Structure 1
Amino acid sequence: MNALWLRFFKSAYRREPISGFIAIVGLVDLAIGGIDQNLSLSVFGVSVFGIALALRWWQIQNVPEQSQSERPQYILPDRSSQSPLPMLKPSQRPSRNDRS
């Protein structure tokens, strides 16, 4: 059960960090209020979680759609205008371990 909650929290936080953080705070307040049987903290947790869901919905609605016909613009050219570097050959000098 813990792994499932951890996966849910990670995925919620990675998608939208601000609304994910607010939702996690609301759920924690709700859990603490439920355990302590504190009605005001539970109501506060539910309201904060509701605000987080509304914020997430608002962010999803404001995402502009990208057209498929636009190609991405690359800064670097496809091919380099310079010639490739020459291949290096191993040195003919003996290594330090071979010197006696």
Structure 2
Amino acid sequence: MNVLLPRFLRTLYRKEPISSFILVVGAVDAVMGGVGQRWSLFSFGLFIVSLSVLLRWWQVQKAQPIATEDKPRRYLPPSSSAMPLPLLTHDKSRR
């Protein structure tokens, strides 16, 4: 458990550094406000934490592409009814 938790937190922090920094700042504010019984700082910290969670959710939603499968337009029929043209060859002997 002691080895997995820092590795998990490190990978999360590296994926989204801005929202992770905001989350850490909000969590520190909430802990300081809760321990010191300063309810305005505690509520501000909770607000910042919820804002960072919302920001991370928005970034994840924005990163997922909308999958639409459009068939390519084909201007020619799939098979031609005409006979194929003969191959052209270049003979040097005919001059």
State the TM-score bracket (shorter-chain normalisation). Answer: 0.5 to 0.7
1:13: which partner in 2?
13
Specify the alignment match of 1:80 in structure 2. none
Contact map agreement 1:9 1:24 (CA 8 A) in 2: no
Match of 1:37, SS state, is coil
Distance across 1 between alignment mates of 2:38 and 2:5: 23
Gaps of 5+ in 2: 68-95
Cα contact 1:26–1:48 (8 A) shared by 2: yes
Q: What TM-score results when the alignment is normalised by the length of structure 2?
A: 0.58
Which residue of structure 2 aligns with residue 56 of structure 1?
56
- C-alpha distance in 2 between matches for 1:42 and 1:6: 25
The equivalent of 2:36 in structure 1 is: 36
SS of the residue corresponding to residue 57 of structure 1 reads helix
After superposition, what is the alpha-carbon deviation per residue over 1:20-44, rounded to whole angstroms, capped at 9, x for unaligned? 0000000000010111011000000
- Secondary structure at the counterpart of residue 65 of structure 1: coil
Alpha-carbon distance, 1:14 to partner: 1.1
RMSD: 2.6
CA distance in 1, matches of 2:62, 2:33: 33
Greater Rg by CA: 2
> Using the alignment, how far apart are the partners of 1:11 and 1:24 within structure 2?
15
Length-normalised TM-score, structure 1: 0.56
Distance 1:41 1:22, change over 3 A: same
**Structure-2 separation of matches of 1:2 and 1:23:** 22
User: Secondary structure of 2:63's match?
Assistant: coil
Gaps of 5+ in 1: 68-100
Aligned residue runs from structure 1 range 58-97, under 5 A: 58-65=58-65
Number of equivalent positions:
67
